[in-house]
């Protein structure tokens, strides 16, 4: 950590204090504000060996760079500047020669012309009017002449770079801003003006900014602008460890990192902590509002809007927060009016241009959306949201080559964002460049599919190309994780496709599995039910076909058994009839009763059917082993048992007939004896 930040914190605090004074007396308000916040973050750091005459040193610093003869002109001009009377301020110090009043003259002239241009602008879409070129041309000539004479200090060179950048002379502007940073490393505004001119990491690492510790803050800020969030987050974490843990600026930037990384919960947590420590802060509150919009936290958005209005309703951030609130309520026209109000306050307010383009897209006003996105690109060419919005707008109006161009730029700015890759794949698919579309979809899957739709798009494309095996493989991968799928209709489409595929293949288990999942979808329920009926019918037909041969064998065996049973019945039933006359103990009444029992037993035997014959066959072996003594004994028992059979209910007699163990064994034994005699 010592190698990363080798400067002692007391020395850092001294430099911050000196930078606050220098920027304040020149009217560089944003730099003064940033330096003051950083200085406040080091409030626990004590400066060692502070001289007792610090107040005297402080007053000397405030007047340094101002000639004593020009005090009165400078104080007058500075008072006009503070109340935004820029032309009066410039006029008051027009003849001054010292560095501070001279810079105030040039800077007041620049701000006066910017203010005049904004006030005369009737259409916010015209950011770069021809009048701006004429207004700044003479100021550019003056600054170029002063620079050629080496009469500009670091602050003057910074202003020279700002004017060059306003006139789109970016290469010269970059050189001047780097020169100004080397001369005045505490000038934060110079870093902010230089950052949009850096378009790639290689160029950033090649800048010769010197070895001042302020470069770490610039590097981290530019990494965020390039959407290299991990690199920027690492620098901010190192700076916090180095002693800037209480810096409000660092907390806000880390929240922005998590916003870019789509870690919404962590970003919201940091912004809430930031608002608790600084409740009247409006910087970055528009980003916080966007996060609440994504989470659909309407109550929190309403509270944030009321709070922002109570703090300052004329801040562009406040108008943006209110616009987001109306947008989530689907009142898009009112939301557009608030975004337009924000642009009146600051025509270069990037978030308002982009969000207004989104609202026009919701209203199907494609032309107005394109205009808004184009102005967002003019403000910041690295805003991938604007490029992506342009691609979507041209896609709606069927101009696919235009949308392909804008999607490519968005992808270059966000190479690891799957949404850009999916958009490119869809456009290639519409242009019948299927090979490129497949590559885009696979790359979107590799980098991490945010929307969870790339695999479905890939499966659909392979199905369209007739590669059904690959399509099924992709559908299976897509349907494995149901929770990750954001589009439920696409998920059900995958289920029904797999169900139809396996049904055709004859894999009815898998087909039914996927078809049952479609029953939760109202749109796919009817199709799924019809498919399930088809699967059941085919299953039944297949089972019948498989069991046809074993069934015939079983039928043959059953018929042979029944024939054998009938033969046994033919032998046994006459025996039972012959046995009655030989029974001497039965009376006439008993004979009558036995006759009635015989008729009842006949009906019971019809109900019992096959069970009775099977019982007789099962006891065939036991019958042969019975002795004559046992036969005579059981014969008497038979006559006794058959008598009360008339009193039994049909159900009881049927149950008796079905249970072979309850039948008297004497009949079986005597019938066997008589049968054997008959055979002899």
pLDDT of residue 645: 38
Q: Classify residue 402 by burial, with Cβ atoms within 10 Å: 0-12, 13-18, 19+.
A: middle
Of these ranges, 545-549, 563-567, 577-581, the one predicted with the greatest mean pLDDT is 545-549
Dump pLDDT digits (tens) for 284-330.
999 999 999 999 999 999 999 999 999 999 999 999 999 999 999 99
Of 278 and 616, which is predicted with more confidence? 278
Q: How far is CA 570 from CA 574, 579, 671, in A?
A: 7, 15, 12
- Summary mean pLDDT of the chain: 79
pTM, to two decimals: 0.72
Q: Residue 531 pLDDT more than 50? A: yes
Residues 550-566: what's their mean pLDDT? 50
Question: Residue 241 corresponds to which tokens in the numbers above?
Answer: 């460890």
DSSP assignments along 222-236, one per residue:
HHHHTT-HHHHHHHH
pLDDT of residue 620: 39
Dump pLDDT digits (tens) for 382-430.
889 999 999 999 999 999 999 999 999 999 988 888 899 999 999 999 9
Burial of 354-364, coded b for 16+ CB within 10 Å and e otherwise, reads bbbbbbbbeee
> Cβ(154)–Cβ(187) under 8 Å?
yes
Q: pLDDT confidence of 171, banded at 50, 70, 90? A: very high
pLDDT of residue 137: 87
Cα 190 from chain centroid (whole Å):
38
Q: Residue 21 pLDDT more than 60? A: yes
pLDDT of residue 439: 92
Burial of 446-472, coded b for 16+ CB within 10 Å and e otherwise, reads ebebeebbbbbbbbbbbbeeeeeebbb
Residues 34-38: what's their mean pLDDT? 94
Residues 458-481: what's their mean pLDDT? 85
**Spatial distance between the Cα atoms of 558 and 173, rounded to a whole number of angstroms:** 103
Q: Residue 649 pLDDT more than 60? A: no
Dump pLDDT digits (tens) for 133-157.
677 888 999 999 999 999 999 999 9
> Cβ(376)–Cβ(413) under 8 Å?
no
Of 524 and 330, which is predicted with more confidence? 330
Q: Residue 49 pLDDT more than 70? A: no
pLDDT of residue 65: 87
Q: Residue 272 pLDDT more than 60? A: yes
CB neighbourhood size of 162 (10 A):
21
Question: Residue 656 corresponds to which tokens in the numbers above?
Answer: 């008796």
Residues 168-193: what's their mean pLDDT? 94
Picking from 13-22, 222-231, 508-517, 547-556, which range would have the lowest pLDDT averaged per residue?
A: 547-556
Burial of 557-585, coded b for 16+ CB within 10 Å and e otherwise, reads eeeeeeeebeeeeeebeebbeebeeeeee
pLDDT of residue 51: 52
pLDDT of residue 48: 64
Dump pLDDT digits (tens) for 579-599.
444 333 333 333 433 333 344
Q: Residue 661 pLDDT more than 50? A: no
**Spatial distance between the Cα atoms of 285 and 315, rounded to a whole number of angstroms:** 11
Where would I find the H helices in 465-587?
Answer: 468-480, 488-505, 508-517, 525-546, 548-578
pLDDT of residue 57: 65
pLDDT of residue 630: 37
Task: Give percent of the chain with pLDDT exceeding 90.
Answer: 48
Q: pLDDT confidence of 52, banded at 50, 70, 90? A: very low
Q: How far is CA 10 from CA 7, 251, 308, 419, 444, in A?
A: 9, 22, 36, 47, 48
The SS3 of residue 294 is helix
Q: pLDDT confidence of 503, banded at 50, 70, 90? A: confident
């Amino acid at each position: 950590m010592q190698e990363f930040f080798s400067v002692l914190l007391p020395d850092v605090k001294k430099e911050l204090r000196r930078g606050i004074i220098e920027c304040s007396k020149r009217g560089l308000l944003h730099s003064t504000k940033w330096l003051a916040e950083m200085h406040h973050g080091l409030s626990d750091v004590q400066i060692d060996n502070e001289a007792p005459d610090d107040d005297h040193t402080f007053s000397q610093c405030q007047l340094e760079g101002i000639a004593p003869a020009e005090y009165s002109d400078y104080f007058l001009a500075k008072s006009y500047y503070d109340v935004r009377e820029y032309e009066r301020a410039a006029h008051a110090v027009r003849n001054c020669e010292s560095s501070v009043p001279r810079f105030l003259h040039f800077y007041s002239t620049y701000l006066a012309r910017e203010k005049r241009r904004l006030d005369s602008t009737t259409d916010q879409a015209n950011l770069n009017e021809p009048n701006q070129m004429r207004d700044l041309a003479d100021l550019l000539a003056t600054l170029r002449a002063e620079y050629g004479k080496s009469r500009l200090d670091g602050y003057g060179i910074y202003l020279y770079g700002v004017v060059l950048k306003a006139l789109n002379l970016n290469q010269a502007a970059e050189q001047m801003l780097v020169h100004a940073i080397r001369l005045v490393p505490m000038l934060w505004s110079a870093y902010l003006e230089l950052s949009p001119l850096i378009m790639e990491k290689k160029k950033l690492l090649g800048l010769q900014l010197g070895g001042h510790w302020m470069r770490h803050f610039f590097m981290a800020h530019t990494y965020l602008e390039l959407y290299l969030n991990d690199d920027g987050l690492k620098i901010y974490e190192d700076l916090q460890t180095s002693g800037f843990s209480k810096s409000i600026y660092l907390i806000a930037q880390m929240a922005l990192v998590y916003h870019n990384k789509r870690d919404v919960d962590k970003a919201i947590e940091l912004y809430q902590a930031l608002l608790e420590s600084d409740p009247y802060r409006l910087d970055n509150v528009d980003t916080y509002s966007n996060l609440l919009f994504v989470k659909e936290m309407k109550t929190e958005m309403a509270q944030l809007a009321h709070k922002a209005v109570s703090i300052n309703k004329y801040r562009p951030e406040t108008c943006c927060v209110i616009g987001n609130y109306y947008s989530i309520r689907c009142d898009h026209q009112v939301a557009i009016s608030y975004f337009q109000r924000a642009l009146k306050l600051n025509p270069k307010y990037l978030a308002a241009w982009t969000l207004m383009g989104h609202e026009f897209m919701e209203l199907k006003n494609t032309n107005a959306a394109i205009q808004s996105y184009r102005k967002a690109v003019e403000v910041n060419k690295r805003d991938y949201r604007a490029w992506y919005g342009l691609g979507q707008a041209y896609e709606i109006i069927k101009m696919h080559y235009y949308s392909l161009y804008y999607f490519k730029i968005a992808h270059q700015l966000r190479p690891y964002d799957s949404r850009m890759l999916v958009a490119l794949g869809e456009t290639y698919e519409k242009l019948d460049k299927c090979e490129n579309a497949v590559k885009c979809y696979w790359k979107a899957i590799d980098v991490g599919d945010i929307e969870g739709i790339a695999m479905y798009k890939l499966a659909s494309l392979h199905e369209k190309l007739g590669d059904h095996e690959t399509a099924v493989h992709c559908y299976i991968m897509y349907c494995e994780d149901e929770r990750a799928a954001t589009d439920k209709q696409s998920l059900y489409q995958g289920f029904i496709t797999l169900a139809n595929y396996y049904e055709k293949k004859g894999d009815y288990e898998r087909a039914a599995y996927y078809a049952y999942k479609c029953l939760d979808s109202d749109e796919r329920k009817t199709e799924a039910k019809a498919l399930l009926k088809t699967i059941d019918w085919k299953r039944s037909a297949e089972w019948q076909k498989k069991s046809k041969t074993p069934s015939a064998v079983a039928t043959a065996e059953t018929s042979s058994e029944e024939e054998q049973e009938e033969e046994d019945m033919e032998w046994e039933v006459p025996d039972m009839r012959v046995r009655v006359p030989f029974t001497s103990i039965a009376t006439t009444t008993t004979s009558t009763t036995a006759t009635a029992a015989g008729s009842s037993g006949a009906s019971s035997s019809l109900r019992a059917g096959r069970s009775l014959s099977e019982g007789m066959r099962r006891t065939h072996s036991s019958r042969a082993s019975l002795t004559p003594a046992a036969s005579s004994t059981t014969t008497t028992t038979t006559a006794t048992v058959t008598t009360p059979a008339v009193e039994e209910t049909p159900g009881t007699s049927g149950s008796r007939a079905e249970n072979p163990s309850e039948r008297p064994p004497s009949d079986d034994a005597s019938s066997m004896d008589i049968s054997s005699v008959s055979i002899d």
